[in-house]
Amino acid sequence: MMRPVDEKESFAMEVETIVDSSVSSVKRYPPEMPHNGPLSSVAYSWILWRILKRLSKSIKVVIFGTKINILLPFGPLSIVLHFLTENHGLVFFFSLIGITPLAERLGYATEQLAAYTGQTVGGLLNATFGNATEMIIAMYALKNGMIRVVQQSLLGSILSNMLLVLGCAFFAGGVVHSKKDQIFNKAAAVVNSGLLLMAVMGLMFPAVLHFTHSEVQYGKSEVALSRFSSCVMLIAYASYLVFQLKSHRNLYHPIEDEEGLNEADLDEDEPPELSQWEAISWLAILTLWISILSEYLVDAIEGASDALNLPMAFISVILLPIVGNAAEHASAIMFAMKNKLDITLGVAIGSSTQISMFVIPFSVVVGWLMRQQMDLNFQLFETATLFITVLVVAFMLQDGTANYFKGLMLILCYFIVAASFYFHTDPEKDD
């Protein structure tokens, strides 16, 4: 642990003792009160000082710990811009950039907390907070009644996970290990993609029903069907979690162990850097901050679409998910380069499955509660794109090998999909 030593050198001597005691109190909680004597005011000020130091260390770790946090000022900047100018394009752009580091730090805080809570709750945490950013953005869009944005951003998240993230990972890993094909655990990949395929199938029926114009009450029964399907999918997701965490714990242990060991590479060499309560409070702070920025982001979408002359579909499907997925993207590429393709696949496909089995149905249910007409009818083009993509990628993962060419193909397919959304407008008016 080099950092406390550094701090020791840069602070005064009484800080040394405090730092020492605070270092040990990161591991254990019994507060050391060596000077618990008559001068309680001194003790109080010491406690205060210690808390401040711990806070500043924590801030150092969380905020200054990674280079990506250079982007952090963009967040407040976008808020300032929002109030000063009417330039929605810049507001949108800046808040987009501002959310990226927050999402990454959120993932970091979640990991840290997971290190304390053990496998089960850790898995649950990852499952819930893994896609927190997308969920938060979706909630805000729902509140504003921007149903299409919600649908398209979640769809785009799945597409980006399966094509862009996976493609970049395969490509980067293949370039680094260009001598031979990389291999991954075929069985797990097939099981996961089968699950994803079934989830997508569950999502598709309302859309297919609507587009064959064969509903009992045109428009209404399809919403009812979507709500019913969403409840069914949420039940499926709950049993998926139970299944993963209870019955087949052995299956998932190795990956989780590796994840606990390698994710962000911190836990391998070092014990968790944040205390449990620090992790929880950072989780709360980051979530709050992401919510605030998302609000500005969502408000600025329409204006940005006009200002930047981009179709809303493009913004929702391509740009928004990049933000939510940035952290996963980076970690997936890193794991691929370290030849740990199983984790990459777990991240990419697991995230897609989570979105399709949890976030999308959850949005429908939240929309139901908010009395918004959010449904699973993703319009024909999006639905077809989703189905084709999932099918093709599921097929491609079957042989258990990866090389840079496969990665390149996936990325290029993503470019084609992105281009088609660039030229895509909704047949009917938004919202």
| Residue numbers at the binding site for other proteins (CB under 8 A) | 187, 190-191, 193-195, 197-198, 201-202, 204-206, 208-209, 212-217, 221-222, 224-225, 228-229, 232-233, 235-236, 239-240, 243, 247-248, 387, 391, 394-395, 398
* Contact status, residue 105 vs residue 286, Cβ threshold 8 Å: yes
Phi-psi label, residue 264: left if phi above 0, alpha if psi -120 to 50, beta otherwise: left
The C-alpha atoms of residue 93 and residue 294 are separated, in whole angstroms, by 12
- Reading the block at residue 166, the tokens are 């996976």
User: Based on C-alpha coordinates, what's the Rg of the chain?
Assistant: 23
Q: Which is nearer to other proteins, 48 or 232 (CB)?
A: 232
Least distance (Å) from other proteins to the CB of residue 154? 18
Query: Which DSSP string corresponds to 22-38?
Result: HHHHHH------TT-SS
Neighbours of 49 (CB within 10 A): 14
Q: Which is nearer to other proteins, 133 or 151 (CB)?
A: 151
Q: Which is nearer to other proteins, 169 or 209 (CB)?
A: 209
Least distance (Å) from other proteins to the CB of residue 64? 43
The C-alpha atoms of residue 74 and residue 76 are separated, in whole angstroms, by 6
Residue the block writes with tokens 């052995």: 250
Alpha-carbon distances, residue 175 vs 29, 189, 197, 265, 298 (angstroms): 47, 22, 29, 21, 37
Q: Which is nearer to other proteins, 55 or 391 (CB)?
A: 391
The C-alpha atoms of residue 30 and residue 309 are separated, in whole angstroms, by 59
Least distance (Å) from other proteins to the CB of residue 317? 22
Least distance (Å) from other proteins to the CB of residue 345? 15
Least distance (Å) from other proteins to the CB of residue 85? 47
* Contact status, residue 339 vs residue 134, Cβ threshold 8 Å: no
Least distance (Å) from other proteins to the CB of residue 218? 9
Least distance (Å) from other proteins to the CB of residue 366? 20
Q: Which is nearer to other proteins, 210 or 329 (CB)?
A: 210
Q: Which is nearer to other proteins, 197 or 317 (CB)?
A: 197
Least distance (Å) from other proteins to the CB of residue 25? 43
- H/E stretch holding 123 reads helix 88-129
Strand partners, 182: 402
Q: Which is nearer to other proteins, 75 or 202 (CB)?
A: 202
Q: Which is nearer to other proteins, 41 or 247 (CB)?
A: 247
The C-alpha atoms of residue 100 and residue 48 are separated, in whole angstroms, by 33
Q: Which of 47, 27, 25 is nearest to 35 (CA)?
A: 47
